[in-house]
Amino acid sequence: MSAVLAARDVELTQAERNPALIYLASLSATGRRSMASRLARVARMLGTNLREMDWATLRFEHVTAIRSRLREEGLSSSSVNCTLAALRGVARAAWSVGLMTAEERARVESVGAVRGFRLAPGRALNQGEIAALLDACAADTSAAGPRDAAVIALLLGGGLRRSEAVALSLADYSPETGLKVRGKGDKERLTYLEGGAALALNDWITVRGDWPGPLLCPVRKGGMVERRAMTDQAIYGALVKRATLGRIARLSPHDLRRTFASELIDASGDLSAVQQLLGHSNIATTTRYDRRPEQSKRRVAGMLHLPYRGRAKLEAK
Protein backbone atom coordinates (compact mmCIF):
# COMPACT_ATOMS: atom_id res chain seq x y z
CA MET A 1 0.00 0.00 0.00
CA SER A 2 2.80 2.43 0.88
CA ALA A 3 4.42 1.81 -2.51
CA VAL A 4 1.13 2.59 -4.26
CA LEU A 5 0.73 5.81 -2.29
CA ALA A 6 4.31 6.81 -3.02
CA ALA A 7 3.83 6.22 -6.76
CA ARG A 8 0.66 8.29 -6.66
CA ASP A 9 2.46 11.11 -4.85
CA VAL A 10 5.20 11.11 -7.52
CA GLU A 11 2.54 11.24 -10.25
CA LEU A 12 0.79 14.15 -8.55
CA THR A 13 4.09 15.98 -8.10
CA GLN A 14 4.87 15.58 -11.80
CA ALA A 15 1.40 16.81 -12.77
CA GLU A 16 1.70 19.79 -10.45
CA ARG A 17 4.99 20.75 -12.12
CA ASN A 18 3.71 20.33 -15.69
CA PRO A 19 3.04 23.91 -16.90
CA ALA A 20 0.51 22.70 -19.50
CA LEU A 21 -1.56 20.86 -16.89
CA ILE A 22 -1.35 23.82 -14.51
CA TYR A 23 -2.59 26.14 -17.26
CA LEU A 24 -5.40 23.80 -18.31
CA ALA A 25 -6.55 23.43 -14.70
CA SER A 26 -7.22 27.18 -14.60
CA LEU A 27 -9.77 26.99 -17.44
CA SER A 28 -13.44 26.10 -17.60
CA ALA A 29 -14.37 22.58 -18.70
CA THR A 30 -15.14 23.76 -22.24
CA GLY A 31 -11.99 25.88 -22.49
CA ARG A 32 -9.93 23.03 -21.07
CA ARG A 33 -11.05 20.63 -23.82
CA SER A 34 -10.37 23.16 -26.56
CA MET A 35 -6.95 24.27 -25.35
CA ALA A 36 -5.86 20.73 -24.44
CA SER A 37 -6.55 19.72 -28.04
CA ARG A 38 -4.41 22.60 -29.32
CA LEU A 39 -1.53 21.87 -26.96
CA ALA A 40 -1.68 18.16 -27.81
CA ARG A 41 -1.32 19.10 -31.48
CA VAL A 42 1.73 21.23 -30.71
CA ALA A 43 3.26 18.39 -28.68
CA ARG A 44 2.74 15.95 -31.58
CA MET A 45 4.43 18.42 -33.92
CA LEU A 46 7.43 18.29 -31.58
CA GLY A 47 7.46 14.48 -31.45
CA THR A 48 5.95 13.94 -28.01
CA ASN A 49 2.63 14.25 -26.15
CA LEU A 50 0.99 16.76 -23.85
CA ARG A 51 2.00 15.10 -20.59
CA GLU A 52 5.57 14.20 -21.53
CA MET A 53 6.44 17.44 -23.33
CA ASP A 54 8.99 19.55 -21.44
CA TRP A 55 6.98 22.77 -21.72
CA ALA A 56 9.46 24.71 -19.59
CA THR A 57 11.98 24.55 -22.45
CA LEU A 58 9.61 26.39 -24.80
CA ARG A 59 11.33 29.43 -26.28
CA PHE A 60 10.63 32.30 -28.65
CA GLU A 61 12.12 30.50 -31.67
CA HIS A 62 10.01 27.39 -31.00
CA VAL A 63 6.76 29.34 -30.81
CA THR A 64 7.65 31.28 -33.96
CA ALA A 65 8.27 28.01 -35.83
CA ILE A 66 5.02 26.53 -34.51
CA ARG A 67 3.09 29.57 -35.71
CA SER A 68 4.59 29.22 -39.21
CA ARG A 69 3.92 25.47 -39.32
CA LEU A 70 0.27 25.89 -38.34
CA ARG A 71 -0.20 28.50 -41.06
CA GLU A 72 1.39 26.17 -43.61
CA GLU A 73 -1.06 23.46 -42.57
CA GLY A 74 -3.93 25.76 -43.54
CA LEU A 75 -5.30 26.69 -40.13
CA SER A 76 -7.27 29.92 -39.95
CA SER A 77 -5.73 32.95 -38.31
CA SER A 78 -8.16 32.69 -35.38
CA SER A 79 -7.23 29.04 -34.81
CA VAL A 80 -3.51 29.82 -34.91
CA ASN A 81 -4.00 32.73 -32.53
CA CYS A 82 -5.92 30.51 -30.08
CA THR A 83 -2.99 28.10 -30.09
CA LEU A 84 -0.60 30.99 -29.46
CA ALA A 85 -2.82 32.07 -26.54
CA ALA A 86 -2.55 28.56 -25.11
CA LEU A 87 1.24 28.64 -25.40
CA ARG A 88 1.34 32.02 -23.65
CA GLY A 89 -0.76 30.51 -20.87
CA VAL A 90 1.68 27.62 -20.55
CA ALA A 91 4.61 30.06 -20.40
CA ARG A 92 2.90 31.99 -17.59
CA ALA A 93 2.32 28.76 -15.69
CA ALA A 94 5.96 27.72 -16.16
CA TRP A 95 7.11 31.10 -14.84
CA SER A 96 4.71 30.90 -11.87
CA VAL A 97 6.29 27.65 -10.61
CA GLY A 98 9.86 28.81 -11.24
CA LEU A 99 10.54 26.75 -14.36
CA MET A 100 10.97 29.74 -16.69
CA THR A 101 12.56 33.12 -16.17
CA ALA A 102 10.62 36.34 -16.58
CA GLU A 103 12.72 37.19 -19.64
CA GLU A 104 12.06 33.81 -21.30
CA ARG A 105 8.34 34.16 -20.61
CA ALA A 106 8.29 37.68 -22.04
CA ARG A 107 10.00 36.51 -25.22
CA VAL A 108 7.46 33.68 -25.70
CA GLU A 109 4.60 36.13 -25.14
CA SER A 110 6.13 38.55 -27.66
CA VAL A 111 5.40 36.27 -30.62
CA GLY A 112 2.86 38.26 -32.59
CA ALA A 113 -0.61 37.15 -33.56
CA VAL A 114 -1.42 36.14 -37.11
CA ARG A 115 -3.45 38.68 -39.06
CA GLY A 116 -6.24 37.66 -41.34
CA PHE A 117 -9.98 37.37 -41.63
CA ARG A 118 -12.26 34.52 -42.55
CA LEU A 119 -16.02 34.36 -42.66
CA ALA A 120 -17.55 33.20 -39.39
CA PRO A 121 -18.17 29.44 -39.32
CA GLY A 122 -21.58 27.87 -39.00
CA ARG A 123 -24.91 29.23 -40.13
CA ALA A 124 -28.18 30.67 -38.93
CA LEU A 125 -31.40 28.68 -39.32
CA ASN A 126 -34.34 30.06 -41.27
CA GLN A 127 -37.89 30.05 -39.94
CA GLY A 128 -38.84 26.96 -41.92
CA GLU A 129 -35.96 24.99 -40.41
CA ILE A 130 -36.83 26.14 -36.90
CA ALA A 131 -40.45 25.05 -37.40
CA ALA A 132 -39.29 21.67 -38.75
CA LEU A 133 -37.09 21.09 -35.69
CA LEU A 134 -39.89 21.89 -33.28
CA ASP A 135 -42.44 19.85 -35.25
CA ALA A 136 -40.11 16.84 -35.00
CA CYS A 137 -40.11 17.30 -31.22
CA ALA A 138 -43.90 17.69 -31.07
CA ALA A 139 -44.40 14.47 -33.04
CA ASP A 140 -42.50 12.50 -30.38
CA THR A 141 -45.02 11.41 -27.75
CA SER A 142 -42.32 10.24 -25.32
CA ALA A 143 -40.69 12.48 -22.71
CA ALA A 144 -37.80 13.02 -25.14
CA GLY A 145 -40.06 15.18 -27.34
CA PRO A 146 -40.68 17.99 -24.83
CA ARG A 147 -37.13 17.58 -23.49
CA ASP A 148 -35.64 18.25 -26.92
CA ALA A 149 -38.04 21.14 -27.49
CA ALA A 150 -36.74 22.61 -24.21
CA VAL A 151 -33.15 22.16 -25.45
CA ILE A 152 -34.02 24.12 -28.59
CA ALA A 153 -35.78 26.75 -26.46
CA LEU A 154 -32.66 27.25 -24.35
CA LEU A 155 -30.14 27.32 -27.22
CA LEU A 156 -32.22 29.16 -29.79
CA GLY A 157 -34.67 31.06 -27.59
CA GLY A 158 -32.14 31.91 -24.89
CA GLY A 159 -28.85 31.91 -26.79
CA LEU A 160 -27.13 29.49 -24.41
CA ARG A 161 -24.04 27.44 -25.16
CA ARG A 162 -24.71 23.73 -24.79
CA SER A 163 -22.28 23.57 -21.83
CA GLU A 164 -24.35 26.27 -20.14
CA ALA A 165 -27.61 24.42 -20.84
CA VAL A 166 -26.48 21.15 -19.26
CA ALA A 167 -25.19 23.03 -16.20
CA LEU A 168 -28.62 24.46 -15.39
CA SER A 169 -30.63 23.29 -12.41
CA LEU A 170 -34.37 23.62 -11.94
CA ALA A 171 -33.75 26.36 -9.35
CA ASP A 172 -32.01 28.50 -12.00
CA TYR A 173 -35.28 29.13 -13.84
CA SER A 174 -38.13 31.38 -12.80
CA PRO A 175 -40.78 32.64 -15.25
CA GLU A 176 -40.84 35.91 -13.29
CA THR A 177 -37.14 36.70 -12.84
CA GLY A 178 -35.60 34.87 -15.80
CA LEU A 179 -32.92 32.23 -16.25
CA LYS A 180 -29.63 32.37 -14.31
CA VAL A 181 -26.83 31.13 -16.55
CA ARG A 182 -23.28 30.30 -15.50
CA GLY A 183 -21.01 31.07 -18.43
CA LYS A 184 -17.32 30.96 -19.21
CA GLY A 185 -14.97 32.01 -16.44
CA ASP A 186 -17.66 31.35 -13.80
CA LYS A 187 -19.48 34.52 -14.89
CA GLU A 188 -23.21 34.59 -14.22
CA ARG A 189 -25.83 36.40 -16.27
CA LEU A 190 -29.58 36.60 -16.55
CA THR A 191 -31.39 35.81 -19.77
CA TYR A 192 -35.08 35.55 -20.55
CA LEU A 193 -37.32 33.08 -22.32
CA GLU A 194 -40.43 34.55 -23.90
CA GLY A 195 -43.36 33.26 -25.96
CA GLY A 196 -42.89 29.81 -27.43
CA ALA A 197 -39.51 29.34 -25.75
CA ALA A 198 -41.05 29.77 -22.29
CA LEU A 199 -43.93 27.48 -23.24
CA ALA A 200 -41.54 24.75 -24.41
CA LEU A 201 -39.50 24.91 -21.21
CA ASN A 202 -42.59 24.87 -19.01
CA ASP A 203 -43.96 21.84 -20.88
CA TRP A 204 -40.72 19.98 -20.24
CA ILE A 205 -40.75 20.90 -16.53
CA THR A 206 -44.28 19.49 -16.28
CA VAL A 207 -43.06 16.19 -17.77
CA ARG A 208 -39.80 16.23 -15.79
CA GLY A 209 -41.38 16.95 -12.43
CA ASP A 210 -40.48 19.53 -9.82
CA TRP A 211 -37.79 17.57 -7.97
CA PRO A 212 -34.61 19.62 -7.34
CA GLY A 213 -31.66 18.90 -9.59
CA PRO A 214 -30.51 19.24 -13.20
CA LEU A 215 -32.97 20.98 -15.51
CA LEU A 216 -32.16 18.87 -18.58
CA CYS A 217 -32.07 15.11 -18.04
CA PRO A 218 -31.57 11.96 -20.11
CA VAL A 219 -34.68 10.07 -21.17
CA ARG A 220 -34.51 6.28 -21.47
CA LYS A 221 -35.95 4.41 -24.43
CA GLY A 222 -38.97 3.48 -22.35
CA GLY A 223 -39.65 7.16 -21.71
CA MET A 224 -38.44 7.31 -18.10
CA VAL A 225 -36.70 10.52 -17.08
CA GLU A 226 -33.38 9.91 -15.31
CA ARG A 227 -32.53 12.12 -12.37
CA ARG A 228 -29.14 13.25 -13.63
CA ALA A 229 -27.79 15.89 -16.00
CA MET A 230 -27.48 15.48 -19.76
CA THR A 231 -24.02 15.72 -21.28
CA ASP A 232 -22.78 18.13 -23.95
CA GLN A 233 -22.62 15.25 -26.41
CA ALA A 234 -26.20 14.21 -25.64
CA ILE A 235 -27.35 17.72 -26.59
CA TYR A 236 -25.56 17.35 -29.90
CA GLY A 237 -27.11 13.93 -30.51
CA ALA A 238 -30.61 15.19 -29.75
CA LEU A 239 -30.30 18.05 -32.24
CA VAL A 240 -28.88 15.83 -34.98
CA LYS A 241 -31.81 13.44 -34.44
CA ARG A 242 -34.40 16.23 -34.72
CA ALA A 243 -32.66 17.71 -37.76
CA THR A 244 -32.74 14.31 -39.47
CA LEU A 245 -36.42 13.80 -38.65
CA GLY A 246 -37.21 17.33 -39.81
CA ARG A 247 -35.26 16.77 -43.05
CA ILE A 248 -33.15 19.87 -42.64
CA ALA A 249 -29.46 20.38 -43.35
CA ARG A 250 -27.02 19.23 -40.71
CA LEU A 251 -26.47 21.72 -37.93
CA SER A 252 -24.45 22.18 -34.77
CA PRO A 253 -25.71 23.27 -31.34
CA HIS A 254 -23.83 26.55 -31.75
CA ASP A 255 -25.83 27.28 -34.93
CA LEU A 256 -28.86 27.78 -32.67
CA ARG A 257 -26.93 30.33 -30.62
CA ARG A 258 -25.86 32.02 -33.87
CA THR A 259 -29.50 32.15 -34.95
CA PHE A 260 -30.53 33.69 -31.62
CA ALA A 261 -27.87 36.38 -31.94
CA SER A 262 -28.33 37.20 -35.61
CA GLU A 263 -32.13 37.37 -35.37
CA LEU A 264 -32.01 39.70 -32.35
CA ILE A 265 -29.37 41.93 -33.92
CA ASP A 266 -31.43 42.13 -37.11
CA ALA A 267 -34.61 42.90 -35.19
CA SER A 268 -33.27 45.34 -32.60
CA GLY A 269 -29.90 46.60 -33.81
CA ASP A 270 -28.91 46.72 -30.13
CA LEU A 271 -25.49 45.07 -30.08
CA SER A 272 -24.92 45.93 -26.42
CA ALA A 273 -28.06 44.15 -25.22
CA VAL A 274 -27.32 41.10 -27.38
CA GLN A 275 -23.75 41.05 -26.05
CA GLN A 276 -25.09 40.86 -22.49
CA LEU A 277 -27.61 38.14 -23.35
CA LEU A 278 -24.87 36.05 -24.98
CA GLY A 279 -22.41 36.60 -22.14
CA HIS A 280 -19.65 37.93 -24.40
CA SER A 281 -16.84 39.82 -22.65
CA ASN A 282 -15.91 41.66 -25.85
CA ILE A 283 -18.48 43.25 -28.13
CA ALA A 284 -16.19 42.47 -31.09
CA THR A 285 -17.18 38.82 -30.61
CA THR A 286 -20.85 39.77 -30.80
CA THR A 287 -20.37 41.71 -34.03
CA ARG A 288 -19.38 38.48 -35.78
CA TYR A 289 -23.03 37.42 -35.47
CA ASP A 290 -24.26 40.62 -37.14
CA ARG A 291 -25.79 39.80 -40.54
CA ARG A 292 -26.78 43.36 -41.42
CA PRO A 293 -23.56 44.21 -43.32
CA GLU A 294 -24.04 41.10 -45.50
CA GLN A 295 -27.66 41.97 -46.19
CA SER A 296 -26.63 45.49 -47.19
CA LYS A 297 -23.93 44.10 -49.49
CA ARG A 298 -26.48 41.81 -51.13
CA ARG A 299 -28.89 44.68 -51.74
CA VAL A 300 -26.13 46.76 -53.30
CA ALA A 301 -24.97 43.84 -55.47
CA GLY A 302 -28.55 43.47 -56.70
CA MET A 303 -28.46 46.99 -58.10
CA LEU A 304 -26.13 45.84 -60.87
CA HIS A 305 -28.05 44.62 -63.92
CA LEU A 306 -26.35 42.03 -66.12
CA PRO A 307 -28.33 41.71 -69.42
CA TYR A 308 -27.87 37.97 -69.79
CA ARG A 309 -30.99 36.36 -71.27
CA GLY A 310 -29.96 32.73 -70.94
CA ARG A 311 -29.25 30.00 -73.57
CA ALA A 312 -32.88 28.88 -73.80
CA LYS A 313 -34.10 32.30 -74.94
CA LEU A 314 -31.30 32.69 -77.49
CA GLU A 315 -31.95 29.24 -78.98
CA ALA A 316 -35.68 30.01 -79.25
CA LYS A 317 -34.86 32.72 -81.74
305 is catalytic: no
Among candidate residues 147, 161, 208, 258, the one labeled active-site is 161
Known active-site residue 289: yes
> Which is catalytic among the residues 107, 147, 162, 280?
280
The CB-side HSE value for 26 (13 A sphere, CA atoms) comes to 12
Q: Which of 257, 288, 292, 308 is catalytic?
A: 257
- Catalytic annotation present for 313: no
Annotated catalytic residue 184: yes
Instruction: Count other Cβ atoms within 10 Å, centred on residue 13.
Output: 10
Q: Which candidate in 17, 189, 254, 291 is catalytic?
A: 254
Is 257 an active-site residue?
yes
Which one of 184, 241, 288, 291 is the catalytic residue? 184
CB 205 within 8 A of CB 170: yes
161 catalytic per annotation: yes
Point out the residues that are catalytic.
161, 184, 254, 257, 280, 289
